Structure formats: structure tokens, C-alpha cells
Amino acid sequence: MKAKQNDSLMSISVVVPVYNSEGSLAELVSRLETTLRPLSSDLEVILVNDGSRDGSWEAICQLACEHNSIRGFNLLRNYGQQNALLCGIRMARYEIIVTLDDDLQHPPEEIPKMLDELARGYDVVYGTPEKRHHRLWRNSTAILTKMAMQATLGIRGASSISAFRVFRTPLRDAFASYQSPSVSINVLLNWGTTRFASVPVRHEERRTGKSNYSFRKLVTQAFNIITGFSVVPLQMASIIGFLFTCIGIVVLLYVLGRYLIHGASVPGFTFLASLIAIFSGAQLFALGIMGEYLARMHQRMMDRPVYVVRSTTDTAKHPHGSDCAGPDTGPEEGCASNLKETR
């Protein structure tokens, strides 16, 4: 990134959703500090532990003791990557937010390139991998998801979307009151701006652990995005209903014409059974789509929380290295001096 004067340095909040990444957090934080300290007047790294089953929360607490830039949030359970991201975004204090994964596949050294692009007047800049180190089925599913988002939600440049992004913090005001359990950060950002850009970045091999995204989860996520943030499926159901109504009218005219001309109805059980099957299938398809929307309305009426924070590491209020878990205290008692629940 170009050299900057001290008075032009930006304040940066880095948000990282953490799930079973105990082994990669120390290196990630070290590389973030090395890369962003020279570019920022203020820096915080927000690590949101999304119900990890390993020692990720203990690792976050230890890192909070060693780095005064670390802020940790421990969620009550696993809410999902998007919900954890939303938690971190809402907790951010500085003017620029950077989001990236915890598995080191998003190189922190690429962030300055994205910040340069943001300075050109954009509100959101995505780091688009030059080459993805994923299996073919995952790459294919990701492409289909992005195509669906662009077609149904009208998101510009959906093909460039990734979890590696930088954006201006005021954008979160566009979804400040959002409370549905189904979250898509990319869609929420699209609510606040149309000034998107992307830059090619490296995408590294995963060093530790394995991805928690299965084919089923990715397909479900795509379906949730389409039905949760768009009315296109309902419009499709209406169009299908209209088309089959037209087909029904044509068939009726054919039956009446045959009766008037030949004096007999259309023979054959197969003809009748086929029509019944086609029309019944169209009706069930439309009812299924409406059922999905009713289910989402029901979920919102239940007022389920997007996330709940069990405990935090409040490093901003304590001197470096204080109030951290020692050998005789658990991580929540020592490191999380500010215990609270937040929706």
C-alpha cells in the first residue's frame, strides 16, 4: 500500500469468526498486526468464537493477554459463520471493517491492496481469489450460489463476492435493526450501497483442520438466501400458476371442440391421469414456496436472537496483560472480565 502520512492513517476493525481454529489464531493475529499496524491509527482485531468445540476460546483469551488490540466475544452456541460476522460487525468501533476467515486461506498481507481500492471512493471491496483451493463441488456450488444471488437479488458483481472484504463501518446502519436468524452479510451490505469493487488476491491452502461446509450446507445456504431476501420464488409460483391456467383453458377448448365436431369426448385414462399429475404438481410446488415464506414469517414472529454473547475479553478497559486467565482461573473468569449477554 502507498505510504501515508500519520494524519491520514485510518482506524481499522478486523472481524474474524472463529470455529475450531485453535491452531491458526496466533499466526493470524501476528500477521494482521504486522500488516496493519503501519497503516492504522487505531487497530482492533475482533475474534468471535462461534461455539467452538476445541480450545479456541482459551486461545483467544491468551491472545487478548498478549495483544492489546484483541477483543474476544464468546457466543453461547454455534449460530453460524454469518451470524458470528454480524456480531463482530456490530461490535466494531472504527471507521473501516475488514472481514476474513480464521483458517489463513485469506492472506492478511493482501488487505492493503483492498484498502487502496476502497480509498478510490468505493464502500465495499471484495478480495476475489485468483485461484481457489477448494474441491470442484464446492467451487461449483459457490458459482451457482452467486449466480442465484445476482439473478434473484440484483446484487451487482455477485461473481466477485467472497468472505474476504473491507467496507466502511457506517454501512451497518442500513441493517442495524435486522433480527432474523437467517443472515447474509453480502445481502445486508447490498441494502446500504451500490458502490462495490473487487481486487484479485491470493488464496492459500488450508493448513489446519477442515472446512465445515458440506455440499448440503452450501445448497441450503443458497436456498435460504433466495427465499429469505427475495420474492422471486413467489413470483415464479404466480407465473407457473398462470401458465398452467392457460394450458388448462387450451385443453378445455380442445375437449369442447372435439365434442362439438366428433360428438364424443377425449378417450383414454392416460390423458386424464397425465393432466391431473401435471396440475397437481404445479399446485404443490406453489404451495411449497408459500409454505417456505410462511415458515420464515413464523421464525421472525418468534423473535429468535441472531446471536447471544456469553462472555467477552474487554481489553480496551484494562492494561496490557491484566485480567487474563492465569493458571488457577478458567478462561471465562479471568479473560472475560466483562460478562454480558447481547442480542
* Whole-number pLDDT of residue 174: 93
- Angle at the Cα of 158 from the Cα atoms of 156 and 164, rounded to 5 degrees: 120
CB burial of residue 74 (10 Å; 0-12, 13-18, 19+): buried
Domain ranges for the chain, please list them: 10-214+308-334, 232-301
CA distances from 9 to 39, 40, 46 (A): 6, 5, 20
Please tell me which residue, 326 or 301, carries the higher pLDDT value.
Answer: 301
d(CA 12, CA 106): 17
Confidence of residue 17 (pLDDT cuts 50, 70, 90): very high
Residue-wise pLDDT for 221-275, tens only, equals 666 666 666 667 777 777 877 787 778 777 777 777 777 777 766 666 666 777 7
d(CA 245, CA 261): 24
3-state secondary structure of 215: helix
Evaluate if pTM is beyond 0.85: no
CATH superfamily label, 10-214+308-334: Spore Coat Polysaccharide Biosynthesis Protein SpsA; Chain A (3.90.550.10)
Residue spans of beta strands (DSSP E) within the chain = 10-18, 40-49, 70-75, 96-99, 124-129, 165-168, 196-201, 309-313
CB burial of residue 254 (10 Å; 0-12, 13-18, 19+): exposed
Residue-wise pLDDT for 39-59, tens only, equals 999 999 999 999 999 999 999
